């Protein structure tokens, strides 16, 4: 899945001087094609909610953003997320990009 979002990550790694750069996509819906398909929606929703909550915790730990600077505001946002998304089918792709700094 080269040249997908995040756009240009490999370019930025190379620009930073990294070598042996590569990326890999992890589609959340890949489970549909395995023996785990029956629980896919519930597990995918669990993963997306866990990822969102961890991301928000990270934002709070870095002083937050407008409208979300306290734990209480984050808890409200997580509750709204859980209400709004419920058991909907959520599709996502995680893209991991990496490179190695050359030895000096």
For the chain (length 104 residues), average pLDDT per consecutive 10? 58 91 81 73 80 89 89 90 78 83 88
**Residue where the block lists tokens 């600077």:** 69
pLDDT for 76 equals 92
pLDDT for 6 equals 58
- For 34, 70, 74, 78, 92, the CA distances from 57, given in Å and listed in that order, are 32, 10, 8, 10, 20
d(CA 54, CA 61): 11
pLDDT for 38 equals 74
- Of the candidates 21, 30, 3, which has an alpha carbon nearest to the alpha carbon of residue 93? 30
Mean pLDDT of the residues in the chain:
82
């Amino acid at each position: 899945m080269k040249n997908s979002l995040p756009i240009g990550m490999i370019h930025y790694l190379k620009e930073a001087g990294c070598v042996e750069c590569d990326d890999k996509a992890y589609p959340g819906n890949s489970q549909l094609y395995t023996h785990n398909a029956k629980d896919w929606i519930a597990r995918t929703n669990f993963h997306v909610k866990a990822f969102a909550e961890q991301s928000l915790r990270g934002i709070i730990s870095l002083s937050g953003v407008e409208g979300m600077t306290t734990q209480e505001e984050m808890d409200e946002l997580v509750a709204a997320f859980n209400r709004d998304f419920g058991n909907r089918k959520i599709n996502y792709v995680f893209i991991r990009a990496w490179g190695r700094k050359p030895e000096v």
